[in-house]
Copies of this chain bind each other. A is one copy, B any other.
Amino acid sequence: MSLTLARIAELTGGRLAGDGARTIDRVRPLGEAQPTDLSFVANAKAVAGLAESRAGALIVLEGLRVSGRDIVFHPQPQTAMSQVARELYPDVAPPVGVHDLAVVDPTARLGAGVRVAPFAVIEADAVLGDGVSIGAGVHVARGVTIGAGTVVHARVVLYPRVSIGKQCLIHAGAVLGADGFGFVTTDGHHEKIPQVGGVEIADDVEIGANSCIDAGTLAPTRVGENTKIDDLVMIGHNNQIGRSVLLCGQVGLAGSNEIGDNVILTGQTGVSGHLRVGKGAMAAAKCAITRNVGPGEKVAGVPHMPLGLWRRVWKASQRLPEMRREMKALLRRVDDLERLVDTETPDRF
């Protein structure tokens, strides 16, 4: 796959300056780009990197003065790069239709243009909307529903009582609907509580590779529209996750939390159970949220505190050994002072 620079200008709506016939076949950052690569300059600061770059062509922020190169000027170079990337590297999908070596139950309902790769299993009563793509070795349990346009990558497992919205993207190895972690313990022996609530994923959700979203106990664990979940994230049973939430890599949620819209939990953050994290709240990396967090709050720490306080605490904590020394010195000085002042005391009575 390759594109001429003229085609790139047309595709992105940018302004061509230079040789429109030049062809490029990859995108690369400035430092790595070769003569058949397209790269970009998104701001004045990045211009410095140009001298050393071997990039064959560039998308440059409209208004910057760059010359002696084959260029498409554009008001939003990164958006334009994304458009080019989508064109140069079209999405992978199995061919339309069901592969001979897939097992699809006759009661499953498949929409128009559905793609099912080899070694996928689609059980009874599953419903796949138009254009759904099911990767190699995916397991779709009985009764699962998947909305139109959703792409399920290889080796994903969907347990019974899972429903997925439209235009979602589920990456390889993700597991949705496995049993929540619920037990009754009697005399130290754990007895399983059935977890039958399933999982409900809204539209336009992305779920990262090998992430796990457990079934609710009685009602579904839910993930709202446009929420984006990174790799190796664990969402325990009964969580209710809002819209446009970002859960970064290895985040873990224990059970029954409410996570408001537009919350951002950065990498390796954990949330204890039965908490509310308000709309637009943010947790800094590796935070442990152990109490409710209000809307818009920024928190950090293990367990969490307000981000500003946490920064000051962390800074001060590095002086702790010194503070202990100072404290001891101070104690001695006050001891001395008291002795001196006490000595005087009798004089005055």
Give the interface of A toward B (CB within 8 A): 27-29, 32, 39, 78-79, 81-82, 85-86, 88-89, 92, 99, 101, 103, 117-119, 121, 135-137, 139, 141-142, 153-155, 157, 159-161, 169, 171-173, 175, 178-179, 181, 183-185, 188-190, 192-194, 196, 206, 208-210, 212, 214, 218-219, 226, 228, 230-232, 234, 236, 244, 246, 248-250, 252, 254, 261-262, 266-268, 270, 272, 285-286, 288, 290, 301-303, 305, 309, 312-321, 323-324, 326-327, 330-331, 333-334, 337-338, 340-341, 343-345, 348
Contact = CB atoms under 8 A, between A and B. Distances in A.
Given A175-B171, A189-B226, A250-B250, A218 B154 contact: no
A172 B154 contact: no
Contact of A29 (B29, B219, B236): B219
A242 to B, nearest CB: 11
Q: Which 5 A-B pairs have the closest CB atoms?
A: A157-B172, A175-B209, A316-B320, A178-B209, A85-B194
A255 to B, nearest CB: 9
A121 B136 contact: yes
Contact of A267 (B81, B254, B333): B254
Given A137-B137, A157-B155, A320-B313, A175 B345 contact: no
A171 B214 CA distance: 11
Contacts of A160: 89, 92
B305 A302 contact: no
Nearest to A193: B82
A286 B267 contact: no
Given A232-B212, A330-B334, A250 B249 contact: no
A337 B341 contact: yes
Contacts of A267: 252, 254, 270, 272
Nearest to A316: B320
Contacts of A32: 218-219
A283 B252 CA distance: 16
A178 B190 contact: no
Contacts of A345: 340
A159 B155 CA distance: 12
B333 A338 contact: yes
Contacts of A316: 320-321, 323-324
Contacts of A139: 135-137, 154-155, 172
B314 A324 contact: no
A36 to B, nearest CB: 14
B181 A171 contact: no
6 contacts: A179-B208, A181-B249, A188-B262, A231-B234, A286-B288, A302-B302
